[in-house]
Chain A
Amino acid sequence: MKRKKVTLEQGLYLAGLIAFCLGMPFLFWYIPQVDAGVLPPCMLNRYFGIYCPGCGGSRAVMALIQGKFLDSLYYHPLVLYGAVLYLAFMLSQTVALLSRGRLKGLRFHQWFLFGAVFLIVLNCLIKNILKFCFGIDVL
């Protein structure tokens, strides 16, 4: 019997489900750690005053969980971008799966990932330029 080939979107949907199953316990561990302030601070920011590409990520995740979308966007735009893309992809693929292919789900495009890289670079540059050129500490 010929095996049915798994499409890219089906593979990504499965990866998304696995990420959800692994991510939920991680979030349950992570939120109390952030609330208690026991996570180590960013070394680059602490000793050199430079914002690293991940600075603001924890605050953005916490803001997103509390439903403060604009705050999340302000702290680190990648978190909201990733959450929106993830939800859109998973929900549309679930609908496509339930409708047995009558409705099409969101298709993966490589520009989604290049967009994420662009956001990381832009966020890091803007925060550091604001801090060192204009003296504005955004975090």
Chain B
Amino acid sequence: MDNNSYWNQKQQEQNGNFSQQAGPVQNPYQPRQNGESGFAIAGMVCGILSILCCSWMIFDFLLAIPGIIFSIVVLVKNYAGKGMAVAGLICSTVGLFLSLVFLAILVMV
């Protein structure tokens, strides 16, 4: 017996209804649907690192810009991990902003 039919039967038993046809039931042991959330993770990791390395301007641009791109890809394409993408977008933007501030200080002083 495969997992889905097992869970369907379990659901019917719990409902006390063996005659009715039960609809598809979510199997709690189904693997996670996280195919595209790698983009969200990459965006957030880049964002966190860009905040940490905000005083290293060129290096920071190399982290913040991909972070923004990855996060936007997740949001536009509707991939999994929207919360992380939003957080990654905010972190990358803050990192980029700090880095630009540092660059401005360096140019002006």
Which one of B52, B81, B87 contacts A54 once the chains associate, using CB atoms below 8 Å? B52
- Asked if A135 lies at the interface with its beta carbon under 8 angstroms from chain B, I say no
Task: Please classify the interface of chain B as helix (H, G, I), strand (E, B), loop, or mixed, using the class held by over half of its residues.
Answer: helix
Number of A residues whose C-beta is below 8 Å from B?
A: 23
- Asked if A64 lies at the interface with its beta carbon under 8 angstroms from chain B, I say no
Q: Which A positions have Cβ atoms within 8 angstroms of B?
A: 5, 7-8, 11-12, 40-44, 47, 52-54, 57, 78, 108, 110, 113-114, 116-117, 120
| 6 closest A-B pairs by CB | A43-B105, A54-B52, A43-B102, A53-B51, A8-B34, A113-B44
Chain A to chain B contacts (Cβ below 8 Å), 29 pairs: A5-B35, A7-B31, A8-B37, A8-B38, A11-B38, A41-B55, A43-B101, A43-B105, A43-B106, A44-B55, A44-B101, A52-B54, A53-B51, A54-B51, A54-B52, A54-B54, A54-B55, A57-B52, A57-B53, A78-B52, A108-B41, A110-B41, A110-B81, A110-B83, A113-B41, A113-B44, A114-B87, A116-B48, A120-B52
